[in-house]
């Protein structure tokens, strides 16, 4: 089945050139140069009677989109036909948009298969080029006008994102829309949630196109936008700024397949890399560690970041149950921040799932500048570089932070010196905690045994580098006692004997049994 639309205003001109029929426009070779071509899509510029036109052809079946349309009780249409419908609806709403000279589509067994659209060229310059060459005095007005233009579209029910390259500044200085390929070409009733999503997608696409707007540029844009929608939506500038930085309605719960980015913590030059998980993984990184379940790499941009990636293999069922390695580490990192324990700043995280099972996940933290892990710090002899007093400051802070976790029933399970960063601010040390995928809240009945194990891990990492008297000082800070009582001594003895008893148990199990 074929549908064909011919604009009466251009019918005589097209007929004189033999372009007033479906076959020639969809399959023929009209005079003109091909200016863009990719698989399934091409664009040709035509010159007819001193007028310029663009002919776009798209040959891509849309079975999935067809099913979506049918489920919504809508007639499915192909890309170019929907673009023609959008342009006509915009003109009916009084918006300035490109003129459609002709359009057509072909459906096979009810599924749209191919289409074309021919539009009259809008004389002028694209807004992104005008903006890039504009002076600092002219830019605020351009952005305010773009905000008014975008707000007018939303107020009339059109929520397709508007990029700067989709707007032509004509010879009269007016804004004219082009390239209106839309999923839903018909206007919808204005709702703040539609507008919020459209604004987020607009800011996302501007960043993807490489346009770096300052906060002042966004303020100018939002000033115009608020003017345009004032009669239907009373929205503050701070609300609009929050929409730009975080997708409205996005589910940030652990295990979501959506990508979560804290844009306000990123340097402007780094934001383009964080568009998606794929763009992060495509960026050049230096691998630090890797095992069968996860890996850590360093991403060096204007700031440095550590990217911890989790593979689905070995994590799928646990992730489905809400107890995957990625979920636990994210949960524990956020829990440490809630307790006031310093951690590397979390800037982005997300997981991709298929059928509820983990495919891949990322957890990205900002590098703690000027820090080193406590294991290397101690092994290099820096612990006592500031004297006994300086060493005891670090040991006391480690003891207090460990006690804070244990008092809340939390068992780290991997609290070793290699998982603690140390940094000096002046003469005061600061400890940061990371890499805690196994930590959990322990049942009360097993908490003492877990505390003993935790203290044994810490003591083992410090044993050959810290004086016994300073280890005793650290333990007293942990117990908050100047003099140890019987319970304190019992826990200390069990911690000191933990690895010895563990080694003896392993030797006994590995000893060959005597034959009867």
Mean per-residue pLDDT, 191-219:
82
Average pLDDT, integer, range 140-162: 93
Q: Which pLDDT value is given to residue 258?
A: 66
Phi (first) and psi of residue 490, to 5 degrees: -65, -45
**Distance between CA atoms of 42 and 59, rounded to whole angstroms?**
9
Q: Kindly indicate the confidence band of residue 44, based on its pLDDT and cuts at 50, 70 and 90.
A: very high
Q: Taking 90 as the threshold, does the pLDDT of residue 46 lie above it?
A: yes
Q: Which of 89, 166, 80 is nearest to 115 (CA)?
A: 80
Question: Three-state DSSP class for 446?
Answer: helix
Task: Decide if 499 contacts 456 (C-beta within 8 A).
Answer: yes
The whole-chain average pLDDT of the chain stands at: 87
Domain ranges of the chain: 1-121, 127-249, 259-366, 372-510
b/e 477-498 (16+ beta carbons within 10 angstroms → b): bbbeeeeeeeebeebbebbbeb
362 pLDDT higher than 60: yes
CA distance to 295, 307, 432, 492, per residue, from 463 (Å): 29, 32, 21, 14
pLDDT confidence of residue 252 = 37
- Percent of the chain exceeding pLDDT 70 equals 92
Given this model, what pLDDT does residue 108 score? 87
| 387-400 mean pLDDT | 94
pLDDT of 114 above 70: yes
Contact call for residues 115 and 104 (beta carbons, < 8 A)? yes
Least confident of 67-71, 93-97, 358-362: 67-71
- CA dist 494 and 102 (Å) reads 85
Mean pLDDT, residues 164-182 taken together: 90
User: Does pLDDT of 244 surpass 80?
Assistant: no
pLDDT band at 254 (very low <50, low <70, confident <90, very high): very low
CATH of 1-121, one of 3.10.450, 3.40.30, 3.40.50, 3.30.200: 3.30.200
Q: Which residues contact 440 (CB under 8 A, 6 or more apart)?
A: 328, 410, 411, 413
Task: Give yes or no for residue 432 having a pLDDT over 70.
Answer: yes
> Quick one: average pLDDT of 55-81?
83
Report whether 211 contacts 146 (CB < 8 A): no
For the purposes of burial, counting CB atoms within 10 Å of the CB of 303, is it exposed (0-12), middle (13-18) or buried (19 or more)? middle
| pLDDT confidence band for 11 (50 / 70 / 90) | very high
pLDDT of residue 365 exceeding 80 = yes
Among candidates 27, 71, 31, which has minimal Cα distance to 52?
31
Going by C-beta distance under 8 Å and a sequence separation of 6 or more, which residues neighbour residue 284?
none
Contacts by residues 54-60 (CB-CB < 8 Å, ≥ 24 positions apart): 54/118, 54/119, 54/121, 55/25, 55/30, 55/116, 55/117, 55/118, 56/80, 56/116, 56/117, 56/118, 56/119, 57/26, 57/114, 57/115, 57/116, 58/114, 58/115, 58/116, 59/113, 59/114, 60/114
**SS3 (DSSP) at 468:** helix
Q: Is the pLDDT of residue 81 over 70?
A: yes
What pLDDT score was predicted for residue 516?
Answer: 53
pLDDT of residue 148: 95
What is residue 28's predicted lDDT score, i.e. its pLDDT? 87
Two structure tokens written together for 130? 């005008």
Percent of the chain clearing pLDDT 90 (strictly above): 53
Q: Mean of the pLDDT values across residues 81-89?
A: 93
**Tokens 């390259």 belong to residue:** 165
pLDDT in tens, 264-314: 888 878 887 887 788 888 889 999 988 877 899 999 999 999 999 988 666
Tokens of 340: 């006031």
Q: Which residues, at least 6 apart from 62, have a Cβ–Cβ distance to it below 8 Å?
A: 76, 78, 79, 111, 112, 113
Over the stretch 464-508, which tens digit does the pLDDT of each residue have?
899 999 999 999 999 999 999 999 999 999 998 888 877 666 666
Tell me if 5 sits within 8 A of 103, measured CB to CB.
yes
Task: Select the more confidently predicted residue: 277 or 155.
Answer: 155
Tell me the DSSP string of 318-373: HHHTT--HHHHHHHHHHHHHHHT---PPEEEEEEEEETTEEEEEEEEEE--TT-EE
Contact 306, 316 (CB under 8 A): no
| The CATH number of domain 259-366, selected from 3.30.70.260, 3.40.50.2300, 3.30.200.20, 3.40.30.10 | 3.30.200.20
**The pLDDT value given to residue 333:** 92
**Whether the predicted model's global pTM rises above the 0.85 cut:** no
**What pLDDT shows up at residue 506?**
61
Which pairs count as long-range contacts for 310-315, CB under 8 Å and 24+ apart, including other chains?
310/351, 310/358, 310/360, 310/361, 310/362, 310/363, 311/360, 312/357, 312/358, 312/359, 312/360, 315/358, 315/361
Least confident of 32-36, 162-166, 249-253: 249-253
* pLDDT greater than 50 at residue 113: yes
Contact by Cβ (8 Å): 167, 149:
yes
How many Cβ atoms sit within 10 Å of the Cβ of residue 319?
A: 23
Q: Does domain 372-510 have CATH number 1.10.357.10?
A: no
**253 falls in which pLDDT band (50, 70, 90)?**
very low
Lookup: tokens for 331: 């949960």
**Are both 1-121 and 372-510 of the same fold?**
no
């Amino acid at each position: 089945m074929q549908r064909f639309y011919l604009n009466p205003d251009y019918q005589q001109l097209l007929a004189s050139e033999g372009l007033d029929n479906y076959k020639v426009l969809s399959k023929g070779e009209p005079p003109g140069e091909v200016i863009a071509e990719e698989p399934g899509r091409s664009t040709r510029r035509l010159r007819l009677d001193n007028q310029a036109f663009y002919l776009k052809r798209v040959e891509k079946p849309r079975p999935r989109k067809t099913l979506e349309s049918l489920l919504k009780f809508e007639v499915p249409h192909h890309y170019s036909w929907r673009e023609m419908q959008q342009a006509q609806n915009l003109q009916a709403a009084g918006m300035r948009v490109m003129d459609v000279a002709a359009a057509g589509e072909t459906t096979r067994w009810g599924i749209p298969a191919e289409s074309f659209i021919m539009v009259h060229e809008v004389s002028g310059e694209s807004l992104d080029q005008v903006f890039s060459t504009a002076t600092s005095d002219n830019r605020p007005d351009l952005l305010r006008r773009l905000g008014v233009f975008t707000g007018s579209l939303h107020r009339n029910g059109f929520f397709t994102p508007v990029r700067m390259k989709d707007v032509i500044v004509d010879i009269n200085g007016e804004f004219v829309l082009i390239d209106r390929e839309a999923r839903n070409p018909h206007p919808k009733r204005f709702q703040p949630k539609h507008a919020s999503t459209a604004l987020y997608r607009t800011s996302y696409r501007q960043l993807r196109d490489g346009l770096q707007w300052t906060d002042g540029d966004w303020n100018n844009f939002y000033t115009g936008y608020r003017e345009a929608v004032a009669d239907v939506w009373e929205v503050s500038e701070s609300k609009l700024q929050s929409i730009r930085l975080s997708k409205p309605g996005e589910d940030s719960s652990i295990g979501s397949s959506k990508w979560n980015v804290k844009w306000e913590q990123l340097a402007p030059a780094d934001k383009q890399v964080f568009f998606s998980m794929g763009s992060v993984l495509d960026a050049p990184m230096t691998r630090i560690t890797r095992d069968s379940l996860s890996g850590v790499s360093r991403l060096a941009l204007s700031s440095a970041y550590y990217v911890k990636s989790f593979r689905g293999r070995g994590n799928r069922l646990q992730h489905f149950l809400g107890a995957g390695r990625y979920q636990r580490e994210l949960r524990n990192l956020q829990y440490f921040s809630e307790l006031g324990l310093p951690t590397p700043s979390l800037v982005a995280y997300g997981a991709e799932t298929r059928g509820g099972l983990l495919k891949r996940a990322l957890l990205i933290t900002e590098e703690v500048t000027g820090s080193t892990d406590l294991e290397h710090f101690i092994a290099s002899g820096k612990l006592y570089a500031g004297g006994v007093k300086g060493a005891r400051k670090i040991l006391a802070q480690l003891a207090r932070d460990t006690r804070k976790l244990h008092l809340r029933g939390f068992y780290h399970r991997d609290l070793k010196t290699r998982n603690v960063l140390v940094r000096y601010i002046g003469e005061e040390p600061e400890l940061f905690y990371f890499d805690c995928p196994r930590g959990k809240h322990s049942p009360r009945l097993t908490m003492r045994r877990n505390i003993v194990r935790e203290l044994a891990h810490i003591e083992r990492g410090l044993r050959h580098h810290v004086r016994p008297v300073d280890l005793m000082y650290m333990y007293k800070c942990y117990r908050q006692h100047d003099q140890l009582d019987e319970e304190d001594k019992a826990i200390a003895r069990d911690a000191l004997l933990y690895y010895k008893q563990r080694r003896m148990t392993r030797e006994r199990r590995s000893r060959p049994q005597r034959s009867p």
